Amino acid sequence: MKPLMLQGHERAITEIKYNREGDLIFSTAKDHKPSVWFSLNGERLGTYNGHQGAVWCVDVDWTTTRLITGAGDMSTKLWDVETGSVLGTIPCNSAARTANFSFSGNQASYSTDKAMGHNSELFIIDVRNVDSSISSQSPVLKLTMNQSNQTKITSMLWGALDETVITGHENGSIRIWDLRTAKELNSVNDHTGVINDMQLSADGTMLVSASKDTTAKLFDSESLMCLKTYKTERPVNSAAISPIHEHVVLGGGQEAMEVTTTSTKSGKFDSRLFHLVYEEEFARVKGHFGPINSLAFHPDGKSYATGGEDGFVRVQVFDASYYEFVFE
């Protein structure tokens, strides 16, 4: 299981995403250049230049024609994937923390931080025909987190049929919003720490959340019922569900500022594979010498990518023994 090392970022990786076919990996880091790579051989195709701050989030639409990124320079940008040119820039009141295309690709959503007197806000925008005028257009919908229990949005997903948006918050709550009525449908407080990441299963019926409270949890994506809990000893920064097996992979480690040892052998920065149903860990993969900040499964389930605080993206391809493995 020799990993591909994707070298090119100068600072810590913040998020990685595969496109729908899985031939490309998009990565963002605290340097200002989102990058795109071939997932097969780890070759860097190019960078998307234009941000002036750390880029926190990235998403690609299902046709792999457009890219959305949100950054600490208080802007959200939409890009042409093929040419790397900026299609439009949306100014924000504070850093843009999350950004996602809807499943149809007709709409996108992004959220901003609570900072400088502004509350955390969630925006829905129409991205069917993007040009430079998008910077002055008003969003389709704007939801402000102004109640005391609605803390900063730290992760976000589109729900089923583009009718809902699911948000994960700094206080550990997960909320589901109806976009037609702009109201909160449901919220759960199963986590006690900040929600670092949420990812849907391949069919969209379940989501896995990764939290600083050292657990990852499996939720029903409509009712937000907590189905399973995967426990570790240290904060979980990212979690992903395998599209072909009943497996979940978790990545984390200490907070970057609390790291003192950077040995890969210390076992603090492994990605861990858990069984989806039995909640038991059955494998660990070493590699990063720093916490894992983002994880993504390849759409075919035969490999997965991890992005770490060390600035590397590692693509792990599973051996034959992984497919033969039977959980007793």
Average pLDDT value for the chain = 91
Identify which of 309, 319, 314 has the alpha carbon closest to the alpha carbon of residue 4. Answer: 314
Task: Average the pLDDT over 140-158 and give the result.
Answer: 87
Percent of the chain scoring above 70 in pLDDT: 95
- Higher pLDDT: 148 or 298? It is 298
Q: Do residues 305 and 3 lie in contact, with contact meaning Cβ atoms separated by under 8 Å? A: no
Residue 152 has pLDDT above 80, yes or no: yes
Residue 235 has pLDDT above 80, yes or no: yes
Q: Which residue has the tokens 């989806």?
A: 276
Q: For the segment 304-317, what is each residue's pLDDT rounded down to a tens digit?
A: 999 999 999 999 99
**Residues 291-328 as b or e (16 or more Cβ within 10 Å = b):** bbbbbbbbbebebbbbbbbbbbbbbbebeeebeeeeee
Distance CA 211, CA 233 (A): 12
Give pLDDT, residue 2. Answer: 78
Q: For the segment 184-216, what is each residue's pLDDT rounded down to a tens digit?
A: 999 999 999 999 999 999 999 999 999 999 999
Give pLDDT, residue 318. Answer: 94
Amino acid identity of residue 222, one-letter, is E
Q: How many residues does the chain have?
A: 328
* Entry pTM: 0.92
Identify which of 26, 30, 68 has the alpha carbon closest to the alpha carbon of residue 44. Answer: 26
With cut-offs at 50, 70 and 90, classify the pLDDT of residue 159. very high
Residue 258 has pLDDT above 70, yes or no: no
Give pLDDT, residue 131. Answer: 86
Task: Average the pLDDT over 66-72 and give the result.
Answer: 96
Identify which of 18, 148, 164 has the alpha carbon closest to the alpha carbon of residue 156. Answer: 164
With cut-offs at 50, 70 and 90, classify the pLDDT of residue 262. low
Residue 263 has pLDDT above 60, yes or no: no
Residue 264 has pLDDT above 80, yes or no: no
Give pLDDT, residue 80. Answer: 95
